[in-house]
Amino acid sequence: MKITIIEPGEGEEDEIIVRCRHMDQKLLRLICAIKAGQEKITALQNGNYFQVPPEEIYYFEAVDSKVFLYLEKEVYETKRKLYELEDMFQGTDFFRASKSCIVNLAKVKSLSPAFNGRFEALMRNGERVIISRQYVPMLKQKLGL
């Protein structure tokens, strides 16, 4: 694979051109990650709005009809619904772990089997997130297990 980087001229828009013989899953994931990385999530904390880059997010969780995003040490609220976030980050490291949670697999330190066919994800910040048994087969497929 050959990679060429050309700096655009003054007033020109940044552009990525992909030339390939076969569009495979790896390339699709890369394209989705680039698209998702450009889009920041608007989040609310203590009455103030922030733009949060997706790569800083550990997981999203729905609690009492509100959706929260968890960073290493901070928690923010977002007005987006989990299904919107799932669509937005389709093909990236974000994975639906339960009906109320989407996990960023890039922030998972380790995975271990838990009771009743569930898995437990230990996040890099020390938090633990349960992956429901309904989503375990998709997790295994995503990880190539």
Residue segments in the chain with a per-residue pLDDT below the cut of 50: none
- The pLDDT assigned to 109 comes to 93
- The pLDDT assigned to 22 comes to 79
- The pLDDT assigned to 102 comes to 95
DSSP 59: E
Q: Exposed/middle/buried for 128, CB within 10 Å: 0-12, 13-18, 19+?
A: exposed
Sheet containing 128-131: order of strands = 108-113, 119-123, 128-131
- The pLDDT assigned to 30 comes to 73
The residue with tokens 């389709």 is: 90
CA distance 99 to 26: 27
- The pLDDT assigned to 35 comes to 64
Q: For the segment 55-64, what is each residue's pLDDT rounded down to a tens digit? A: 899 999 999 9
Residue type, 4: T
Check: CB of residue 95 under 8 Å from CB of residue 134.
Answer: no
CATH code matching the domain that covers 25-143, chosen among 2.60.40.1260, 3.40.50.720, 2.40.50.1020, 3.40.50.300:
2.40.50.1020
The token duo for 51 is 């733009």
Q: For the segment 8-22, what is each residue's pLDDT rounded down to a tens digit? A: 888 888 777 777 777
